[in-house]
A and B are shown apart, each in its own frame.
Chain A
């Protein structure tokens, strides 16, 4: 048995009066590529935000590498949804990727040559070197996602959390991102990825968590990725709406 990098027990989160996720118990295996799938409003983003201590749960406990999230956050490279930042911010591609190094610097310290070299390495992994001086507002959706992933690579964490990294991007970028994820997994990294395309789950991931307010199924693709589980998650929704 491989160890668990994340353990969540009895987690419930509500916004105002509406419960978003209920009694979540789950584990993410170290060195896995774990997908989180579920219909719209199933609480996928809420779940990963709770794991990163970004919202206050009603109940429950999250442990990352056996530690409280607050003390383990620096070891997480987060790839947000594209819409979460202001793309008109006056900054360049290289600058955004360099932000991945801030976590290793602490307050007040400046970037040095080694940091720039690391950022350029990450950019070349994502085939974006030619864009290093572009303003981020001039990038396409796929290029924005590449920049985010380059920043995460630059961060050099053991654990990546990604919120719909393949949403609204071109097919070349999608392939590049998945190849990069697989290459990083071979180097011992772990992934928790919110994913929306049911057709590619088997091809892209080795573990899956099927979510609809609570966990419908979880485990390896062979164990959990079954028609009845998928139907249960998605049909419940169509009945209630």
Chain B
């Protein structure tokens, strides 16, 4: 069983390093398209070789992956259709063609659509290969090789990938072909996706590509850190997914993808610059600002005094929020209550003075 865990981890690592650039380039859905259309490449290569183990299947998948990217680009370049629609039409057309071919001609061979779509990492250890005298699962060997290739690609083209992702125009002027880098990246995405089919299937492989990178994106401020943090999340997701899948007896790729979602949501909500702390900060800011504005209103009055009705109608406050604000102001000694309503104290006067400076408002 430990081999199953290894396969999941290596899949997650090999996909997530490319995922970093896919996320930054806004290519998540293009990747989803590729991970489906490459089935056509597999099917066509299978018809020619009649061998499900042939390396031509991977080459076929790579070529169809490139064709997918190219067709999407051609359609976008006409400027008649936007990227999402272009992806939608190319993706489904090529995938449908693959389904038609399988259902018409390949019914009697073992090209199991269920396994292609959903993957079954538990079967991975059944296909074994001898490497340096050791018997290892074929998937583990192939994916490890791809992990090395993908890491090598990123290490070698790091500077070019960074520049062409951040500022393609500048990359072009500086003499780096963004097109070449783009197609190299997408070739590796296709090959990685097809190799990961056995383990995680074509539907969920998108999650393995982008979820760790997206989660890392929320936390880092450097590209190199994003890669390392993605690796950490890829490891965490696949390990927890493996344990959950084993424990609950459910699909491990499904469990990994769902864990990835939970981890992403936790980071999204709870990181220091995340959703919760931003909302809390905004909420507090609003309160502070509302109170400052009440004081400013009093400050503009010649007697420095406004009635309760005056304040409520000016700021459109209901009784509850009025009470909250005014209690806070009374407690801090910025205002005092009297028969005419509320009057600004000396302290309150000083506070409005600083508020004007802080928000760069003209003096009264």
B173 touches A99 (CB 8 A): no
Q: A91-B222, A91-B223 are in contact. Are A86 and B173 (CB under 8 A)?
A: no
Number of interface residues of A (CB under 8 A): 32
- CB–CB B166/A74 < 8 A: no
Cβ 8 A contact of A85, one of B167, B176, B223: B167
The answer to whether B24 and A74 touch across the interface, beta carbons within 8 angstroms, is: no
Segment at the B interface, from A106-114, A179-187, A207-215: A106-114
Contact partner of A73 (CB less than 8 A), chosen from B79, B165, B173, B220, is B173
Contact B226 A90, beta carbon cutoff 8 Å: yes
Q: Does any Cβ of B come within 8 Å of A199's Cβ? A: no
- Partner among A76, A78, A86, A137 whose Cβ is within 8 Å of the Cβ of B166: A86
**8 A Cβ contacts from A37-68 to B:** 52, 54
Is B357 part of the contact surface with A, judged by Cβ < 8 Å?
no
The closest CB in chain B to the CB of A85 belongs to: B167
Q: A90-B220, A95-B222 are in contact. Are A74 and B175 (CB under 8 A)?
A: yes
From 82 to 132 in chain A, residues with beta carbon under 8 angstroms from any chain B beta carbon are 84-86, 89-92, 95-96, 99, 102-103, 105-111
- Complex-state Cα separation, A107 to B159, whole angstroms: 8
Least CB separation from A88: chain B residue: B217
The residue in chain B whose Cβ has the minimal distance to the Cβ of A69 is B173
B159 cross-chain contacts in A, Cβ below 8 A? 102, 105, 108-111
A52 touches B173 (CB 8 A): yes
User: In chain B, residues 162-180, which have Cβ atoms closer than 8 Å to a Cβ of chain A?
Assistant: 162-163, 165-167, 169-170, 172-176
**Chain B positions near chain A (C-beta within 8 angstroms):** 24, 79, 156-157, 159-160, 162-163, 165-167, 169-170, 172-176, 217, 220-223, 225-226
CB<8 Å pairs between A and B, sample of 24: A15-B79, A52-B173, A73-B173, A74-B175, A80-B167, A84-B167, A85-B166, A86-B166, A89-B24, A89-B223, A90-B24, A90-B220, A91-B221, A95-B162, A99-B163, A99-B167, A102-B174, A103-B173, A103-B175, A106-B175, A107-B160, A107-B176, A110-B159, A151-B170
> What is A's interface to B at a CB cutoff of 8 Å?
15-16, 52, 54, 73-74, 76, 78, 80, 84-86, 89-92, 95-96, 99, 102-103, 105-111, 135, 137, 151, 155
